[in-house]
């Protein structure tokens, strides 16, 4: 998408400024660690979160070049979360390449994730000269909140997997999505851009109401792409969520539509450890989903959330004059639903 591409070029260039210079350590082992950071951060990726920071800043008349450290920090934090998430889920592919722990081993990948988190923090220090002490502190607080929410979301998701629990409702699913995805993918990036621009408190807060359906639509599309995407484009394993036992909307729908006997069979497949799930197991789940309309259901729900997000955006931000930033955010609602990556 051209809109994202323009911003992702800025992020790619700026990321390099905030990563440790390649080969700059006297120790080969520390340079290896730097390479891990460079490799992972420059594999590409949508750069959706930093783009939202920039557009929200522009929407409120801010200079988006002043949002660069916050946008870069958000991308670093995102990548920190992905590195650890890949270990936790035993994922093998990320952005079309082997995951870091597959290349370097788990211990070094845990450490590289920690390093990205540490870099998130040091990158935010650059805010001080650009936007002053008050906003810098405000943004530190936003980041601390996002991290705490996201870790709780991960704890919830992994806890459900560990306990083999499939008795969760759609409401539970939406809470999980809010914690593990919506806060850090949509709500907080938008809040942070608005803070850089100096937007009124009411407008910053309005992004909470908007970010939730927007982020939920994003996650449902992620659930769907994981099932029906093209591996070459998508960059992750197809049906990886089924292998990993993830609680996704199509699966929750499927559980609801199954009778007791079908449910029992489904639980026994889904609770197998990843290494014991066969391709046949996964195909069976996919077939059942198609049979029960679970994929269509999730697609409808996604569309409804995107529509809700649009309506909230129009209502909450009616007083903000049309401008490029505002238009871009609206376009991104459609993008989130239509994306193939």
Q: Which two tokens stand for residue 155?
A: 């704890």
Which tokens sit at 247? 């609680």
Question: Cβ 308 to a copy of itself, closest distance in Å?
Answer: 23
CB of 274 to a copy of itself, least distance (A): 11
Shortest gap between Cβ of 167 and a copy of itself (angstroms)? 12
Q: How far apart are CA 334 and CA 152, in angstroms?
A: 29
- Beta bridge pairs of residue 9: none
DSSP E strands: which ranges in 90-248?
A: 93-94, 97-98
User: Taking contact as CB under 8 A, which single stretch among the options 7-15, 45-53, 146-154, 213-221 is the one that binds a copy of itself?
Assistant: 146-154
What distance lies between CA 148 and its chain's CA centroid? 15
Q: Is 106 in the site for a copy of itself (CB under 8 A)?
A: yes
Report if residue 274 touches a copy of itself, rule: CB under 8 A. Answer: no
Please choose, from the candidates 325, 328, 307, 341, the residue with its C-alpha nearest in 3D space to the C-alpha of residue 2: 328
Contacts 24+ apart (CB under 8 A), 99-102: 100/36, 100/39, 100/40
How many angstroms separate the CA atoms of 182 and 248, rounded? 15
Three-class DSSP category at 97: strand
From 9, 13, 30, 338, residue interacting with a copy of itself (rule: CB under 8 A): 30
Quick one: which of 23, 43, 44, 134 contacts a copy of itself (CB under 8 A)? Answer: 134
Q: Does 271 help bind a copy of itself (rule: CB under 8 A)? A: no
Regarding 154 and contact with a copy of itself (CB under 8 A), the answer is yes
The answer to whether residue 103 forms part of the interface with a copy of itself (CB under 8 A) is no
Binding of residue 276 to a copy of itself (CB under 8 A): no
**Which residue of 117, 237, 272, 310 would you call a contact of a copy of itself, by CB under 8 A?**
117
Determine, following the binding rule CB under 8 A, whether residue 98 of this chain makes contact with a copy of itself: no
Residue 171 near a copy of itself by CB under 8 A: no
Concatenate the DSSP letters of all residues of 228-293 into one string: HS-HHHH-S-TTHHHHHT---HHHHHHHHHS-HHHHHHHHHHHTS-GGG--HHHHHHHHHHHHHTT
Q: 181 is written with which tokens? A: 């995805």
Residue 151 or 284: the one with the smaller Cβ distance to a copy of itself is 151
Q: Map residue 4 onto helix, strand or coil.
A: helix
Q: Is 29 in the site for a copy of itself (CB under 8 A)?
A: yes
Output the CA–CA distances (angstroms, integers) from residue 8 to 2, 13, 257, 276, in the order listed.
10, 8, 41, 39
Among residues 6, 141, 233, 256, the one that binds a copy of itself under rule CB under 8 A: 141
17 binds a copy of itself (CB under 8 A): no
The smaller minimum CB distance to a copy of itself, of residues 55 and 173, is found at 173
Which is nearer to a copy of itself, 188 or 210 (by Cβ)?
188
* Chain positions contacting a copy of itself, by CB under 8 A: 25, 27-30, 32-33, 84, 87-89, 105-108, 110-115, 117-119, 121-122, 124-125, 128, 133-134, 136-137, 140-141, 143-145, 147-148, 150-152, 154-156, 158-160, 162-163, 172, 175
């Amino acid at each position: 998408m051209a809109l994202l591409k323009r911003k992702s070029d800025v992020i790619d260039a700026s990321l390099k400024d905030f990563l440790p210079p390649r080969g700059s350590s006297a120790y080969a082992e520390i340079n290896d660690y730097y390479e891990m950071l460079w490799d992972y951060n420059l594999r590409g990726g949508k750069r959706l979160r930093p783009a939202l920071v920039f557009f929200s800043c522009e929407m409120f008349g801010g200079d988006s070049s002043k949002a660069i450290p916050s946008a870069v920090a958000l991308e670093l934090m995102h990548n920190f979360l992905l590195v650890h998430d890949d270990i936790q889920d035993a994922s093998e592919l990320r952005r079309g390449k082997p995951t870091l722990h597959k290349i370097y081993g788990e211990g070094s990948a845990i450490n590289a994730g920690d390093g990205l988190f540490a870099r998130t923090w040091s990158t935010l220090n650059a805010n001080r000269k650009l936007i002053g002490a008050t906003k810098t502190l405000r943004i530190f607080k936003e980041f601390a909140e996002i991290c705490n929410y996201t870790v709780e979301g991960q704890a919830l998701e992994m806890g459900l997997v560990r306990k083999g629990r499939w008795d969760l409702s759609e409401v539970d699913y939406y809470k999980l999505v809010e914690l593990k995805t919506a806060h850090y993918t949509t709500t907080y990036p938008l809040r942070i851009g608005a803070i850089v621009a100096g937007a009124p408190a009411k407008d910053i807060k309005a992004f909470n109401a908007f970010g939730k359906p927007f982020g939920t639509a994003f996650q449902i599309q992620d659930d769907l792409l994981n099932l029906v995407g093209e591996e070459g484009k998508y960059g992750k394993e197809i049906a990886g969520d089924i292998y990993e036992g993830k609680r996704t909307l199509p699966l929750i729908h499927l559980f609801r539509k199954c009778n007791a006997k079908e449910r029992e069979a489904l639980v026994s497949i889904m609770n197998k450890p990843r290494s014991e799930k066969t391709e046949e197991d996964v195909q069976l789940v996919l077939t059942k989903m198609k049979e029960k309309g679970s994929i269509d259901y999730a697609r409808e729900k996604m569309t409804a959330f995107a529509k809700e997000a649009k309506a909230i955006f129009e209502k909450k931000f009616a007083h903000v004059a049309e401008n490029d930033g505002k238009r871009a955010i609206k376009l991104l609602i459609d993008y989130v639903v239509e994306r193939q990556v």
